[in-house]
């Protein structure tokens, strides 16, 4: 097992600069990557178990059935998982692949979190001793070229994480990925599909308030980096479907006029009552928007594997 660190050091000062410019923008924003400190990751884990949050409940069985359909494509290839996290999804996938195919696969988990790569790669190695594992710590959204190209490659990007990118950023990512893919390389992309809006809105406004807590946690993360005095209780969780952009938007709405201060800031950050911070977008796809993404990467959407209600899809794309 190999673990390789290709993550450039990101200084605390550039994180601070980013957060300050986002909070001084009009309208205010906070990038959704700041959700995921330790507490945020645990809250997201809790979300995935909620009754209303349907995506994992569909993606998991779909991963199993799709693996059985695609096992021939995995022969003698490098299996690269982008945003591998705890590797729980790929292990569901690998369970369905016969051992004689697995022994000629090299699995490349790629994630920005070094601890996640180290832990999950060693767990996976003990589960599948016959398989090669080469973990890479990298920001694949910025530096996709950091992933080695030795053999035929099968990329996986599960969880509809692509949906959290702005439209232009998602297209840029597909273009960059398409550029590093060789003819015949494949991508299996998880996407949450457009459906009845009330179902989507419920998934982001759960009855236990876990998504609200997850959303407000971004203020605690901001306090840690910036030394600000945000009180999460001063903000209301708001999540609604934006039809024009086919996405759920999450915002935090100030319950009253506020001045946020920090020993690190010369001037306060001011909020009017009802002013919002835009914290996340989660795009929902149609077969047309899937095809547009494939086109951006010079890829052909060969198969769209979906559940019977077409709520979530795993799209198999091939580099032409
Ligand atoms: C990680 N990502 C795909 C989740 C989503 O559904 O967009 C993040 C999330 N935000 C609120 N609930 C879940």
- Ligand 1 pocket residue status of 217, Cβ below 6 Å: no
- From 251, 280, 313, give the residue whose CB has the most ligand 1 atoms within 8 Å, as the site to mutate: 280
pLDDT for residue 64 is more than 90: yes
The tens digit of pLDDT for each residue in 184-239 reads: 999 999 999 999 999 999 999 999 999 999 999 999 999 999 999 999 999 999 99
pLDDT for residue 127 is more than 90: yes
CB 219 within 8 A of CB 262: no
pTM of the predicted model as reported, rounded to 2 decimal places: 0.96
**Measured distance CA(17)–CA(225) in Å, rounded:** 10
CA-closest residue to ligand 1 atom 2 = 161
- Ligand 1 pocket residue status of 161, Cβ below 6 Å: yes
The tens digit of pLDDT for each residue in 139-198 reads: 888 888 888 888 999 999 999 999 999 999 999 999 999 999 999 999 999 999 999 999
- Ligand 1 pocket residue status of 282, Cβ below 6 Å: yes
- From 204, 242, 247, 281, give the residue whose CB has the most ligand 1 atoms within 8 Å, as the site to mutate: 204
pLDDT at 241: 98
- Ligand 1 pocket residue status of 204, Cβ below 6 Å: yes
**Measured distance CA(182)–CA(77) in Å, rounded:** 13
Cα 86 to chain centroid distance, Å, stands at 13
Q: What would the mean pLDDT of 112-132 be, rounded to a whole number?
A: 92
How many Å lie between the centroid of ligand 1 and the Cα of residue 57?
14
**Measured distance CA(85)–CA(114) in Å, rounded:** 10
Q: Pairing between strand 235-242 and 247-254?
A: antiparallel
Q: How much is the mean pLDDT over the chain?
A: 95
- Token pair recorded at residue 238: 């708001």
pLDDT at 246: 98
Which residue has 């601070």 as its token pair? Answer: 16
Q: Where are the beta strands (DSSP E) in the chain?
A: 2-5, 28-29, 78-82, 106-111, 132-137, 153-157, 186-192, 235-242, 247-254, 258-260, 269-271, 276-283, 299-306, 312-319
How many Å lie between the centroid of ligand 1 and the Cα of residue 159?
9
SS (H, E, C) 31-97: CHHHHCCHHHHHHHHHHHCCCCCCHHHHHHHHHHHHHHHHHHHHCCCEEEEECCCCCHHHHHHHHCC
């Amino acid at each position: 097992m190999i673990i390789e660190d290709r993550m450039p050091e990101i200084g605390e000062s550039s994180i601070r600069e980013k957060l300050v410019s986002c909070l001084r923008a009009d309208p205010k924003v906070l990038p959704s990557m700041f959700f995921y400190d330790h507490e945020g990751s645990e809250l997201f884990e809790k979300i995935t178990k909620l009754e209303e949050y349907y995506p994992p409940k569909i993606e998991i069985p779909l991963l199993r059935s799709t693996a059985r359909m695609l096992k021939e494509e995995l022969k003698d290839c490098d299996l690269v998982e982008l945003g591998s996290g705890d590797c729980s999804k790929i292990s569901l996938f690998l369970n369905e692949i016969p051992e004689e195919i697995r022994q000629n696969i090299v699995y490349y988990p790629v994630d920005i979190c070094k601890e996640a790569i180290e832990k999950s790669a060693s767990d996976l190695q003990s589960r599948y001793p016959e398989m090669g594992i080469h973990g890479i710590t990298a920001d694949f959204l910025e530096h996709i070229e950091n992933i080695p190209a030795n053999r035929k490659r099968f990329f996986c990007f599960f969880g509809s994480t692509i949906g959290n990118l702005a439209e232009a950023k998602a297209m840029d990512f597909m273009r960059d990925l398409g550029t590093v893919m060789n003819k015949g390389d494949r991508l299996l992309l998880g996407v949450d599909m457009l459906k009845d809006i009330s179902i989507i809105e419920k998934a982001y406004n759960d009855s236990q308030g876990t998504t609200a807590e997850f959303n407000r946690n971004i203020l605690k993360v901001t306090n840690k980096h910036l030394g600000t005095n945000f009180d999460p209780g001063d903000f209301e969780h708001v999540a609604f479907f934006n039809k024009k952009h086919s996405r759920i938007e999450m915002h935090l709405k100030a319950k009253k006029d506020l001045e946020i201060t920090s020993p690190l800031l010369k001037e306060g950050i001011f909020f009017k009552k009802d002013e919002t911070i835009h914290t996340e977008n989660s795009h929902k796809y149609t077969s047309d928007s899937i095809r547009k993404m494939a086109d951006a990467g010079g890829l052909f959407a060969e198969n769209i594997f979906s559940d019977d209600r077409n709520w979530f899809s795993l799209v198999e794309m091939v580099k032409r």
